[in-house]
A and B are shown apart, each in its own frame.
Chain A
Amino acid sequence: QQQVKQSPQSLIVQKGGISIINCAYENTAFDYFPWYQQFPGKGPALLIAIRPDVSEKKEGRFTISFNKSAKQFSLHIMDSQPGDSATYFCAASKGDMRFGAGTRLTVKP
Protein backbone atom coordinates (compact mmCIF):
# COMPACT_ATOMS: atom_id res chain seq x y z
CA GLN A 1 0.00 0.00 0.00
CA GLN A 2 1.54 3.22 -1.17
CA GLN A 3 1.79 5.78 1.61
CA VAL A 4 2.30 8.68 -0.77
CA LYS A 5 -0.02 8.99 -3.77
CA GLN A 6 1.09 11.18 -6.66
CA SER A 7 -0.81 12.50 -9.65
CA PRO A 8 -0.85 12.82 -12.57
CA GLN A 9 1.33 10.04 -13.95
CA SER A 10 2.27 12.19 -16.91
CA LEU A 11 1.89 15.85 -17.78
CA ILE A 12 2.43 17.83 -20.96
CA VAL A 13 2.77 21.60 -20.68
CA GLN A 14 3.59 24.30 -23.19
CA LYS A 15 6.72 26.38 -22.69
CA GLY A 16 5.94 29.26 -20.36
CA GLY A 17 3.01 27.49 -18.75
CA ILE A 18 2.51 26.33 -15.16
CA SER A 19 3.13 22.68 -14.26
CA ILE A 20 1.29 21.36 -11.21
CA ILE A 21 1.91 17.99 -9.59
CA ASN A 22 -0.05 16.81 -6.58
CA CYS A 23 0.67 14.42 -3.75
CA ALA A 24 -1.34 13.09 -0.83
CA TYR A 25 -0.08 11.25 2.20
CA GLU A 26 -1.66 9.13 4.91
CA ASN A 27 0.76 9.06 7.82
CA THR A 28 0.39 12.20 9.94
CA ALA A 29 3.77 11.45 11.53
CA PHE A 30 5.57 12.51 8.34
CA ASP A 31 7.48 15.72 9.02
CA TYR A 32 9.57 16.37 5.93
CA PHE A 33 8.27 16.60 2.37
CA PRO A 34 10.84 16.83 -0.43
CA TRP A 35 10.51 16.84 -4.18
CA TYR A 36 13.07 15.13 -6.38
CA GLN A 37 13.81 15.68 -10.06
CA GLN A 38 15.15 12.84 -12.19
CA PHE A 39 16.54 13.06 -15.71
CA PRO A 40 16.83 9.91 -17.88
CA GLY A 41 19.78 7.74 -16.89
CA LYS A 42 20.41 9.72 -13.72
CA GLY A 43 19.52 9.35 -10.08
CA PRO A 44 16.91 11.56 -8.43
CA ALA A 45 18.20 14.92 -7.21
CA LEU A 46 16.68 16.98 -4.41
CA LEU A 47 14.78 19.93 -5.88
CA ILE A 48 12.96 21.59 -2.99
CA ALA A 49 11.57 20.53 0.39
CA ILE A 50 9.11 21.75 3.01
CA ARG A 51 8.25 21.04 6.62
CA PRO A 52 4.63 20.94 7.85
CA ASP A 53 4.92 24.11 9.92
CA VAL A 54 4.81 26.28 6.78
CA SER A 55 2.19 26.38 4.04
CA GLU A 56 4.38 27.43 1.14
CA LYS A 57 8.01 27.48 0.10
CA LYS A 58 9.37 29.10 -3.04
CA GLU A 59 12.75 28.67 -4.69
CA GLY A 60 13.04 30.42 -8.02
CA ARG A 61 10.38 29.04 -10.37
CA PHE A 62 9.57 26.13 -8.05
CA THR A 63 6.98 26.39 -5.26
CA ILE A 64 5.68 23.81 -2.81
CA SER A 65 2.19 24.38 -1.42
CA PHE A 66 1.36 22.40 1.71
CA ASN A 67 -2.08 21.72 3.21
CA LYS A 68 -1.64 19.94 6.53
CA SER A 69 -5.34 19.48 7.26
CA ALA A 70 -5.96 17.86 3.88
CA LYS A 71 -2.69 15.90 4.03
CA GLN A 72 -1.78 17.14 0.59
CA PHE A 73 1.10 19.00 -0.99
CA SER A 74 1.88 20.09 -4.51
CA LEU A 75 4.72 21.29 -6.70
CA HIS A 76 4.18 24.27 -8.98
CA ILE A 77 6.67 25.04 -11.74
CA MET A 78 6.16 28.53 -13.07
CA ASP A 79 7.25 29.56 -16.58
CA SER A 80 7.96 25.91 -17.43
CA GLN A 81 10.91 25.36 -19.78
CA PRO A 82 11.88 22.41 -22.02
CA GLY A 83 14.85 21.84 -19.68
CA ASP A 84 12.35 21.08 -16.91
CA SER A 85 11.27 17.94 -18.79
CA ALA A 86 12.01 15.16 -16.32
CA THR A 87 10.32 12.79 -13.89
CA TYR A 88 9.34 14.36 -10.58
CA PHE A 89 8.88 12.43 -7.35
CA CYS A 90 7.28 13.66 -4.18
CA ALA A 91 8.30 12.04 -0.93
CA ALA A 92 7.47 12.08 2.76
CA SER A 93 9.71 11.20 5.64
CA LYS A 94 9.67 10.31 9.30
CA GLY A 95 12.90 8.37 9.41
CA ASP A 96 12.37 6.31 6.25
CA MET A 97 11.68 8.23 3.06
CA ARG A 98 8.55 7.10 1.18
CA PHE A 99 8.21 8.12 -2.45
CA GLY A 100 5.29 8.74 -4.76
CA ALA A 101 5.07 6.86 -8.07
CA GLY A 102 6.45 9.77 -10.10
CA THR A 103 5.18 12.20 -12.74
CA ARG A 104 6.75 12.40 -16.16
CA LEU A 105 6.70 16.06 -17.21
CA THR A 106 7.16 17.08 -20.82
CA VAL A 107 7.46 20.78 -21.63
CA LYS A 108 6.85 21.45 -25.31
CA PRO A 109 8.72 24.34 -26.97
Chain B
Amino acid sequence: KQEVTQIPAALSVPEGENLVLNCSFTDSAIYNLQWFRQDPGKGLTSLLLIQSSQREQTSGRLNASLDKSSGRSTLYIAASQPGDSATYLCAVKIAPGYSTLTFGKGTMLLVSP
Protein backbone atom coordinates (compact mmCIF):
# COMPACT_ATOMS: atom_id res chain seq x y z
CA LYS B 1 0.00 0.00 0.00
CA GLN B 2 1.35 3.40 -1.02
CA GLU B 3 2.12 5.75 1.88
CA VAL B 4 3.13 9.38 1.58
CA THR B 5 5.09 11.15 4.30
CA GLN B 6 5.75 14.86 4.53
CA ILE B 7 8.49 16.39 6.63
CA PRO B 8 8.44 18.65 8.51
CA ALA B 9 4.88 18.67 9.80
CA ALA B 10 5.18 22.39 10.53
CA LEU B 11 7.65 25.08 9.60
CA SER B 12 7.99 28.70 10.66
CA VAL B 13 10.33 31.04 8.80
CA PRO B 14 10.89 34.79 8.51
CA GLU B 15 9.90 36.52 5.30
CA GLY B 16 12.45 36.35 2.52
CA GLU B 17 13.89 32.95 3.32
CA ASN B 18 14.22 30.19 0.77
CA LEU B 19 12.76 26.95 2.03
CA VAL B 20 12.32 23.30 1.11
CA LEU B 21 9.41 21.02 1.87
CA ASN B 22 9.91 17.30 1.62
CA CYS B 23 7.66 14.48 0.45
CA SER B 24 8.51 10.78 0.36
CA PHE B 25 6.50 7.84 -0.91
CA THR B 26 6.96 4.14 -0.28
CA ASP B 27 6.22 2.73 -3.73
CA SER B 28 8.30 4.31 -6.48
CA ALA B 29 5.95 3.04 -9.21
CA ILE B 30 3.97 6.26 -9.40
CA TYR B 31 2.32 7.83 -12.42
CA ASN B 32 2.59 11.43 -11.27
CA LEU B 33 2.99 13.60 -8.20
CA GLN B 34 1.21 16.82 -7.35
CA TRP B 35 1.74 19.57 -4.84
CA PHE B 36 -1.31 21.36 -3.48
CA ARG B 37 -1.80 24.32 -1.21
CA GLN B 38 -4.59 24.51 1.36
CA ASP B 39 -5.50 27.72 3.15
CA PRO B 40 -7.21 27.42 6.57
CA GLY B 41 -10.80 26.25 6.21
CA LYS B 42 -10.52 26.12 2.44
CA GLY B 43 -10.19 23.56 -0.29
CA LEU B 44 -7.04 22.61 -2.15
CA THR B 45 -5.36 24.58 -4.92
CA SER B 46 -3.13 22.67 -7.30
CA LEU B 47 0.36 24.17 -7.51
CA LEU B 48 2.50 21.84 -9.60
CA LEU B 49 2.12 18.50 -11.33
CA ILE B 50 5.15 16.35 -12.16
CA GLN B 51 4.74 13.38 -14.45
CA SER B 52 6.80 10.31 -13.60
CA SER B 53 9.04 10.91 -16.63
CA GLN B 54 9.89 14.45 -15.49
CA ARG B 55 12.50 15.60 -13.00
CA GLU B 56 11.10 19.00 -12.07
CA GLN B 57 8.47 21.62 -12.69
CA THR B 58 8.60 25.34 -12.03
CA SER B 59 5.93 27.96 -11.50
CA GLY B 60 7.03 31.41 -10.43
CA ARG B 61 8.85 31.15 -7.11
CA LEU B 62 7.97 27.46 -6.77
CA ASN B 63 10.08 24.60 -8.01
CA ALA B 64 9.18 20.96 -7.47
CA SER B 65 11.59 18.11 -8.10
CA LEU B 66 10.97 14.40 -8.37
CA ASP B 67 13.37 11.52 -7.80
CA LYS B 68 11.15 8.53 -8.47
CA SER B 69 13.79 5.90 -7.83
CA SER B 70 14.38 7.12 -4.29
CA GLY B 71 10.73 7.90 -3.66
CA ARG B 72 11.22 11.59 -2.97
CA SER B 73 9.97 14.96 -4.05
CA THR B 74 10.84 18.43 -2.81
CA LEU B 75 9.01 21.71 -3.11
CA TYR B 76 11.34 24.69 -3.11
CA ILE B 77 9.87 28.10 -2.32
CA ALA B 78 12.11 31.05 -3.09
CA ALA B 79 11.98 34.37 -1.26
CA SER B 80 9.06 33.36 0.94
CA GLN B 81 6.27 35.83 1.66
CA PRO B 82 3.58 35.99 4.38
CA GLY B 83 1.03 35.13 1.69
CA ASP B 84 2.76 31.75 1.27
CA SER B 85 1.51 30.75 4.73
CA ALA B 86 -0.67 27.68 4.23
CA THR B 87 -0.57 23.90 4.45
CA TYR B 88 1.23 22.24 1.55
CA LEU B 89 0.09 18.78 0.54
CA CYS B 90 1.86 16.24 -1.62
CA ALA B 91 -0.15 13.58 -3.47
CA VAL B 92 0.83 10.71 -5.73
CA LYS B 93 -1.16 8.88 -8.37
CA ILE B 94 -0.26 5.26 -8.83
CA ALA B 95 -1.48 4.53 -12.34
CA PRO B 96 -3.13 6.15 -15.34
CA GLY B 97 -6.88 5.90 -15.34
CA TYR B 98 -6.91 4.98 -11.67
CA SER B 99 -8.33 8.01 -10.02
CA THR B 100 -7.15 7.71 -6.44
CA LEU B 101 -4.63 10.22 -5.21
CA THR B 102 -2.71 9.22 -2.07
CA PHE B 103 -2.05 12.27 0.06
CA GLY B 104 0.47 13.08 2.75
CA LYS B 105 -0.61 14.80 5.96
CA GLY B 106 0.89 18.07 4.81
CA THR B 107 3.39 20.64 6.01
CA MET B 108 1.94 23.69 7.74
CA LEU B 109 4.02 26.71 6.75
CA LEU B 110 4.01 30.04 8.55
CA VAL B 111 5.96 32.93 7.05
CA SER B 112 6.23 35.85 9.44
CA PRO B 113 6.75 39.46 8.29
A binds B: no
Q: Which residues of B contact A (CB under 8 A)?
A: none
Q: Which residues of A contact B (CB under 8 A)?
A: none
